[in-house]
A = this chain, B = another copy of it.
Amino acid sequence: MKHPMFVHEDIPTVEVDRLEAVHRPLADSVRELVEATIRTTVSEEEVALARAEVDAVVARLRASQLEGPAGVRYNSEARSWSWGNAVVGERNAVAPPLEITEDEDGGVHAETVLGVRYEGPPGMVHGGVAAMLLDHLMGVAASASQRLTMTGTLTMRYRRATPLGPVRLEGRIDREEGRKIFVVATIADPDGVTVEADGVFIVPSWAT
């Protein structure tokens, strides 16, 4: 963890976990609100009222807030957290959030349910959302739980549309050449693979 932008915070892991448990339910409710905002057919008066209430909540939350980036933080027990991350951030309603599991064989996988806020074609996952999730999962696969990597190139092959609903992502390192790590990954619906991806990840020279 020598990344110059990572912030060390001297908070015990038990407290990090507790704070996460406090904030996660709020973010989950905001995730529901994002979807309700898309689907609602209530009256204009109700929409205006809802907006005023949301604005009031925003003002209260902003009474005390972190400035600058949400960031990636870690403590002395090597627990790290990136609550604001757009793909895995527990506190970021843009993120599902994806919960990535490292398998014993070195691969990684994640399962999630993609709702209406990830829609592209009617009833289907936006192709860009599939790319976004795969990018992150592949970065985790490349890092092999210890080294820092940056995305070099990323190629997606769309076999067919991915319906909204449950999806499974899998990724693993295919091979390595010096500071280049070649990763392959897929996203699948219950009927099989819908998008294949391969990417080249780079270990920055300053991190080796």
Give me the interface of A with B, judged by CB distance under 8 Å.
3, 5-7, 22-23, 25-27, 29-30, 32-34, 36-42, 44, 46-51, 53-58, 60-72, 83-87, 89, 91-94, 116-124, 126-129, 131-136, 139, 150-158, 161, 164
Shortest Cβ distance from A80 into chain B, in angstroms? 12
Which residue of B38, B65, B161 is within 8 Å of A70 (Cβ)?
B38
Contact between B58 and A44, CB atoms less than 8 A apart: no
Contact between A121 and B72, CB atoms less than 8 A apart: yes
Contact between A117 and B94, CB atoms less than 8 A apart: yes
CA distance A29 to B50 in the complex (A): 10
Given known contacts A61-B37, A69-B119, A93-B37, is B132 in contact with A129 (CB within 8 Å)?
yes
Shortest Cβ distance from A134 into chain B, in angstroms? 7
Residues in chain B near residue A120, CB distance under 8 A: 85-87, 136
Residues in chain B near residue A46, CB distance under 8 A: 60-61, 63
Contact between B38 and A83, CB atoms less than 8 A apart: yes
Residues in chain B near residue A164, CB distance under 8 A: 69
Contact between A50 and B54, CB atoms less than 8 A apart: no
**Could you list some 21 contacts between A and B, CB below 8 A?**
A22-B47, A30-B33, A30-B34, A30-B37, A30-B54, A36-B65, A39-B66, A40-B61, A85-B119, A85-B120, A86-B129, A93-B94, A93-B117, A94-B94, A94-B118, A127-B135, A128-B136, A131-B154, A132-B132, A150-B158, A152-B157
Contact between B51 and A86, CB atoms less than 8 A apart: no
CA distance A37 to B40 in the complex (A): 22
Given known contacts A126-B86, A156-B153, is B132 in contact with A34 (CB within 8 Å)?
no
Shortest Cβ distance from A65 into chain B, in angstroms? 4
Contact between B123 and A5, CB atoms less than 8 A apart: yes
Residues in chain B near residue A72, CB distance under 8 A: 121-122
Residues in chain B near residue A25, CB distance under 8 A: 51
* Other contacts beyond A126-B136, A127-B139, A155-B156: 15, CB < 8 A: A5-B122, A34-B93, A37-B91, A39-B65, A39-B84, A41-B65, A69-B122, A85-B126, A94-B117, A127-B154, A152-B158, A153-B155, A153-B156, A153-B157, A154-B156
